Amino acid sequence: MLLELDSVSVSFGGISALKNVSFAVPDGGIVSVIGPNGAGKTTLFNVITGFRRLNRGAVTFEGQAITGLPPYRIARRGLVRTYQKTEVFPELSVFECVRIGLLNRLDAGFFEVVLGGRRVEAFVAEAPRLVRDILATVGLERKATYAARELSYGEQRLLEIAVGLAAQPRLLMLDEPASGLNKDEAEKLADLICALRDRGITVLLVEHNMNLVMSISDTIVVLHHGEKIAEDVPEAVSQDPAVVSVYLGREWVADA
Amino acid sequence: MASSNAPERSALRRALWGGGALLLVAAPLLLGQGYELHLLIIAAIFTIVASSLSLLIGYAGLLSLGHAAFFGLGAYVSALMFLRLGVSMWGGLFCAAAVSALAAWLVGGLVLKVRGNRFIITTVAFAEIMHLIAVNAVGLTRGQMGLDGVAAPRLALPGLGTIDFGTKTAFYYLAVAMAALCVGVIARIVRSPIGWGLAALRENEGLGEAVGVSAFRHAMIAFVVGGFFAGLGGALYGHYMQFVSPDLFLFSYTTTMLVMVVIGGKMSIAGPIIGAVVLTVLPEYLRVATTYRLVLLGAILLVAILAFPNGLASLWTGRRGRAPAASRSG
């Protein structure tokens, strides 16, 4: 298993956001986490990536405990996330934004960088090509010189994924990447996610867009009020009585 | 690097830097040993201090209002080593920078965990604490009396005679060389991968952390390097003025440094240099306005900041208003 959650519980101010959540993400493939608003999906992301402390339980990545590590250390191990509210480096160029993600591949001390050690020089020399490749992967190669804030909303989402890709993730966690995208853009996104999976990047997805989730996920985990109520392949989850009752009254398999 | 730097512009830029360097070397011949040279020495020293501050408030996006603490600390360390231990300025400069960097590391370990108002207030408080120590540790610092007799050395060059750094000309070249070293190191840092990390810290700390960029580490680098050069600048200032007092820790020094950085351009290499020169020279030439000197200075600075929100350096980098990001890459 690439990522394992063992009885993870989180509460703030006496309200429990996650209760005894356990599930595992196997290497390769796409796992999605769904659930109504407030089900604890983003809290789950924050706990896994070290942005929020958990009260009980353990998170294991590639067999090693990452519980309690600061976010950047977790990222260094190859577990990289994006944000629900799209995040970019607004004043930097698209090129520069992606280049920052590359830093995750460089392990060099202050003096080695400033004095220009051979590894550092090679890294810097290679950076432009890597950035161009990544921008081509997400389809932003024509926007390299634009400021990140100048991009459209959908493009900023792609840029954030590109920044994450630059960090060379083993597991890429995407928090509602399709929110705010039109149908066309969402379909392109689905293609992109599948392409990433085919390159060997495991994807953990939180998403409201049921078309997207149903079409690309290998496994779906359903959260409700902080508890896991189902975990199965898409067809089974959509038939699950507990899941259906949670989503009662919603257009369950249509566009969210 | 990506685009926008037309060849003509970079050629022009090289010519400007080259011409500037030539002028700097020739300045003592053109200006003599007079007051103008004194102003240039002060400007060179403040170039060091302002550049080090630009690393913090510009590149790292950390509004440190306690930079005078490291400036004053450096001045005292070097002065005390000279007066009490008989260590010459050369050793003093190095130790002052090292001690200031160490202090920045210690203080940074505490204050760099917080951001925003709490960070700002803590940096102000640190400078205030240093001021109080300088005033009250009378046995060591002579309190408000300050320390005088902080001299600059003579350097004997075998076969070439001696250079007396007590003269303006010699000290001028020393100060300019130190300023060049400081500006060079800072330029190197901000254009290296560390500079990319600083940009992540400045622009979006959370996203940076999510892709493996430690905000704390980069903030610490900026803080320690900033402290190092502020200490070096302070030590040079003490040896040039031959006098060190608790006033060096005052907020007014921080304000001066801050204005230099903002007026010149907080995210450009040339900015702090321009700011240091303008803020050193301009007040002197405004003396013709006698009573209204400072009013006039304030008005000029206000207009400058409104017309060039990215600093006077944007006059020649061509970046006014909000920056087209591509031209900023290094």
Would you tell me which residues 139-178 of chain A have a C-beta closer than 8 angstroms to some C-beta of chain B?
Answer: 144-148, 160, 163-164, 166-167
For chain A, the structural domain boundaries read 1-78+169-256, 87-166
Residue B151 pLDDT: 82
Q: Count the Cβ atoms, other than its own, within 10 Å of residue A215.
A: 12
B298-329: pLDDT as tens digits:
888 888 888 888 888 887 665 544 444 444 44
Give the residue from chain B lying closest to A109, CA to CA: B194
Burial class (CB in 10 A: 0-12, 13-18, 19+), A42: buried
Mean pLDDT of B36-58: 95
Q: What is the full per-residue pLDDT of chain A (256 aa) written as tens digits?
A: 899 999 999 998 888 899 999 999 999 999 999 988 888 899 999 999 999 999 999 999 999 999 989 999 999 999 999 998 889 999 999 999 999 999 999 989 999 999 988 999 999 999 999 999 999 999 999 999 999 999 999 999 999 999 999 999 999 999 999 988 888 989 999 999 999 999 999 999 999 888 899 999 999 999 998 999 999 999 998 888 888 888 755 544 444 4
Tell if the CB–CB gap between A72 and B326 is shorter than 8 Å.
Answer: no
Residues of A whose CB is below 8 A from B2: 93, 95-96, 144-145
| Closest Cβ opposite residue B196 in set A99, A116, A145 | A99
- Residue A117: CB partners within 8 Å, gap ≥ 6? A108
Write down the pLDDT at residue A158.
94
**Torsion B29-B30-B36-B39 (CA) sign:** negative
pTM above 0.95, yes or no: no
Residue A248's contacts (CB-CB under 8 Å, 6 or more residues apart) are none
Sequence-ordered list of residues with C-beta below 8 angstroms from that of B323, at least 6 positions apart, any chain: A91, A147, B267, B310
Q: Is the Cβ pair A103, B329 closer than 8 Å?
A: no
Give the type of residue at A63. G
CB atoms within 10 A of CB B295: 11
Q: Which domain holds residue B179?
A: 34-251
Neighbour count for residue A179 (Cβ, 10 Å):
17
Q: Which of B59, B185, B211, B216 to mutate to test the interface with A (most CBs of A within 10 A)?
A: B211
Amino acid B6: pLDDT: 63
What is the interface pTM, i.e. ipTM, of the complex? 0.89
A residues 196..255 contacting B (CB < 8 A)? none
List of E strands, chain B:
147-148, 154-157, 161-164, 243-244
The minimum CA-CA distance between B269 and chain A, rounded to whole Å, is 16
- The CATH number of the structural domain formed by A1-78+169-256 is 3.40.50.300
Q: What is the pLDDT of residue A250?
A: 53
Q: Does residue B48 belong to any structural domain of this protein?
A: yes
**Does a structural domain hold residue B231?**
yes
Tell whether B305 is covered by a domain: no
Helix, strand, coil abundance in chain A, percent, nearest 5: 40, 25, 35
Q: Total structural domains in chain B?
A: 1
pLDDT at B72: 96
Which residues make Cβ contacts (< 8 Å) with residue A242, sequence separation at least 6? Answer: A222, A224, A229, A230
**B2 lies in some domain:** no
Nearest CA in chain A to B201: A89
Q: Which of chain A's residues have a Cβ under 8 Å away from the Cβ of B208?
A: 72, 89, 100
In whole angstroms, what is the distance from residue B173 CA to residue A143 CA? 46
Query: How many CB atoms neighbour CB B299 within 10 A?
Result: 11
> Is residue B122 one of the residues assigned to a domain?
yes
Residue B112 with chain A: CB contacts under 8 Å: none
Interface of B to A at Cβ within 8 Å reads 1-4, 185, 188-189, 192-194, 196-197, 199-200, 203-204, 206-215, 221, 322-326, 328-329
The answer to the question of residue B5 being in a domain is: no
Q: What is residue B40's predicted lDDT score, i.e. its pLDDT? A: 94
Q: CA torsion, points A121, A122, A127, A132, in degrees to nearest 10?
A: 140
Average pLDDT, chain B: 88
Nearest to A156 by CA among A128, A133, A189, A123: A189
What is the pLDDT at residue A248?
59
CB contact under 8 A, A72 and B213: yes
Compute the average pLDDT of residues B42-49. Answer: 96
In chain A, which residues have their Cβ closer than 8 Å to the Cβ of B328?
A: 91-93, 96
Subunit contact A87:B214, Cβ cutoff 8 A: no
pLDDT at residue B321, as a whole number: 45
Tell me whether residues A96 and B329 touch, CB distance under 8 A: yes
Contact A70 B214 (CB under 8 A): yes
Of A80-94, A202-216, B73-87, B277-291, minimum mean pLDDT range: B277-291
CB contact under 8 A, B207 and A120: no
The predicted pLDDT at position B318 comes to: 59
Is residue B67 situated within a structural domain? Answer: yes
At residue B317, the pLDDT reads 65
Most distant CA pair in chain B, distance = 60
